Structure 1
Amino acid sequence: MTKDIPSPDNSTDAEDWLEAELRDTLDEDYEIELEDAVLSMKIREIYRNAHGPSIPRPQYFHDLLRLQSELIKLQDWVVHNKQKVVVIFEGRDSAGKGGVIKRISQRLNPRVVRTVALPAPSEREKSQWYFQRYVPHLPAAGEIVLFDRSWYNRAGVERVMGFASEDQVQQFFDDVPEFERMLVRSGIRVVKYWFSVSDEEQQMRFLIRIHDPLKQWKLSPMDLQSRIRWEDYTKAKEEMFERTNIPEAPWYIVPGNDKKRARLNCMDHLLTLFPYEDVPQEEINLPERIYNSDYERSVLPPELYVPSKY
């Protein structure tokens, strides 16, 4: 069952709400969208020439806020109906997984929607059943878990970089369809996204990270190796799709060369996968504050306060 997202033009109240929300949050969103603040003019010029115009910024924020308001409804529906949802985000390095996860979770309740980004496995974890370290992070009733990379590390980076033997990789391919079917049979909805970028786009994004001090932390030796082994990753990805694209948990590919469009398209598609609807909400009333005439607020020492530098 799919669900069309209502356009704010259908309701004056919705339009007014969106406009007010837009004004209130532009500063925050502009900060998040600060993609090229410290780039050299040369890199910036090359990148813009390679891309051409994207979605106009006002339209992008308008659609982003509209989709985020629908995600709040989805979140409330998941809680109300005690649903369990796993969303997996995979793709090449710099493909934009982190950006879309940030926008999806930006206005949601972190007690309901959790992001899981596991580090490299410890020596102890390497000796365990491969899926074991992911199991504790699976959702309980009324939760959504966003995996920023997942058990599919074995089909990608571990295979290409030689961290897993070919026997281990083939065992993974044999096991993962049944593992995901088990999750689905237990009541967990499994959604899998692959963010796809071109060879040229990944190269450009890596160059930006090299030249932007705010993004250099995103570059790791493994990222640089992924450039060298582009074709190996392509072959690994193709076999992963062939072996793990099952009806119970299909793959969805998100073209990611345009970051803004990729975010909006992914969020919109995610919403269509659930028959969510408005759920009953308790009316919230602000209680009257209790005043005590005998109470006198104490004066705190100035050294307890953060200095007002700005």
Structure 2
Amino acid sequence: MALGDENSVKMAPEIDKRLKGKAYLRKLQDLHIELVKVQEWAKGTGAKICIIFEGRDGAGKGGVIKAITERVSPRTFRVIALPPPTEREKSQMYVQRYLPHLPAAGEIVIFDRSWYNRAGVERIMGFCSEEQAKRFLKMVPAVEKAIVDSGIILLKYWLEVSPEEQTRRLEARITDLRKIWKLSPMDLKSYSRWFDYSRARDEMFAATDTDWAPWFAVRSDDKKQARLDVISHLLDAIPYEAPPREKIKLPKRQKANHYKEPDFARHWVPTAR
């Protein structure tokens, strides 16, 4: 399931062909309604859903996750973005620190990067040995088989960004003061090793694209289209049904019974100028 090689074709669509804002928002609103149905279905049936997002730096993982979770409850949709492992965690079985975050009944867990760090950044940047990386690739399909056999719906997405678009996005992180927190020294090192990541990605797909936990690749140069594509796909992949909804009417508000607002100073926030 390799996505390309060193001669891969530029994938960035022309700017004027990208999805416009109003059309995007209309489509996203419809998808948000369906995501709320998924949420209520999961709560009502006890379904367990785990969604993994992987991809290079600047591929748009955060934007996709934000689009998914924008209109749903964080109690049901939990986003997991683990920090680097502690010394104790480094001594554990590699996937061990991720397992406690898997969904319980009625939960939807989204991993913003996952155990596949070992197949990507850890392997390329020398945080693990080649032997450890290959051992991981060999054993992870069995781990995911156990996850799926336990009743969890497991969806794995790889966001594929072109070299040109990645450059544009990382340069924006340098110049846009709202985005500087997104750029780390590790991002800069990773940027210089594009083809190391390509080879690691291809080997990861070859070893872990299984019948029970396949990889789904998404072209992400057009951020808006990628978000719609991912949400539409995961809605198709989840066998949810809209739960019955009773008609709701607001009750009458109680009478004041002589209540009056007290005449004391409040620390009102001033109107922004």
Q: Same fold (TM over 0.5)?
A: yes
Residue in structure 2 matching 1:173, options 137, 154, 167 = 137
Residue in structure 1 matching 2:26, options 40, 57, 62 = 62
Q: TM-score, normalised by structure 1?
A: 0.80
Unaligned 5+ segments in structure 2 are 1-11
Match of 1:151 in 2: 115
Match of 1:135 in 2: 99
Matches within 5 A, 1:89-104: 89-104=53-68
* Code of the aligned partner of 1:193: Y
Please give the alpha-carbon distance, in whole angstroms, between the structure 1 residues aligned to 2:91 and 2:210. 28
Deviation at 1:286, TM superposition (A): 2.3
- How many residue pairs match? The answer is 262
Please give the alpha-carbon distance, in whole angstroms, between the structure 1 residues aligned to 2:197 and 2:170. 16
Please give the alpha-carbon distance, in whole angstroms, between the structure 1 residues aligned to 2:202 and 2:26. 36
Match of 2:5 in 1: none
Please give the alpha-carbon distance, in whole angstroms, between the structure 1 residues aligned to 2:24 and 2:272. 34
SS of the counterpart of 1:265? helix
SS of the counterpart of 1:153? helix
1:2-39 C-alpha deviation (Å, 9 max, x unpaired):
xxxxxxxxxxxxxxxxxxxxxxxxxxxxxxxxxxxxxx
* Code of the aligned partner of 1:227: Y
Match of 2:159 in 1: 195
Please give the alpha-carbon distance, in whole angstroms, between the structure 1 residues aligned to 2:260 and 2:31. 47
Q: Work out whether 1:308 is the aligned partner of 2:257.
A: no
Deviation at 1:49, TM superposition (A): 9.8
Between 191-200 and 118-127, report the one with greater CA deviation.
Answer: 118-127
Match of 1:223 in 2: 187
Please give the alpha-carbon distance, in whole angstroms, between the structure 2 residues aligned to 1:271 and 1:182. 23
Summarize the Cα distance change of 1:251–1:49 in structure 2 as closer, same or farther, 3 Å threshold. Answer: closer
Please give the alpha-carbon distance, in whole angstroms, between the structure 2 residues aligned to 1:287 and 1:50. 53
Summarize the Cα distance change of 1:294–1:49 in structure 2 as closer, same or farther, 3 Å threshold. Answer: closer
Match of 1:111 in 2: 75
SS of the counterpart of 1:307? coil
Q: Work out whether 1:84 is the aligned partner of 2:45.
A: no
1:261-296 C-alpha deviation (Å, 9 max, x unpaired):
111111111111022221123443323333352544
Deviation at 1:50, TM superposition (A): 6.1
Superposed CA RMSD in Å reads 1.8
Q: Work out whether 1:260 is the aligned partner of 2:224.
A: yes
Summarize the Cα distance change of 1:145–1:301 in structure 2 as closer, same or farther, 3 Å threshold. Answer: same
Please give the alpha-carbon distance, in whole angstroms, between the structure 2 residues aligned to 1:117 and 1:92. 15
SS of the counterpart of 2:52? strand
1:103-129 C-alpha deviation (Å, 9 max, x unpaired):
010001111111111111111211112
Match of 1:45 in 2: none
Percent identity (aligned): 52
- Report the structure, 1 or 2, having the larger helix content: 1
In 1, are the aligned partners of 2:13 and 2:221 still within 8 Å (CA)? no
1:233-253 C-alpha deviation (Å, 9 max, x unpaired):
011000000001111111000
1:208-245 C-alpha deviation (Å, 9 max, x unpaired):
21121111111111111111111110110000000011
* Code of the aligned partner of 1:290: Q
Please give the alpha-carbon distance, in whole angstroms, between the structure 2 residues aligned to 1:231 and 1:185. 35
Residue in structure 1 matching 2:147, options 183, 196, 213 = 183
**Relative CO higher for 1 or 2, CA cutoff 8 Å, sep ≥ 6?**
2
SS of the counterpart of 1:114? strand
Unaligned 5+ segments in structure 1 are 1-47
* Code of the aligned partner of 1:204: R
SS of the counterpart of 1:154? helix
SS of the counterpart of 2:188? helix
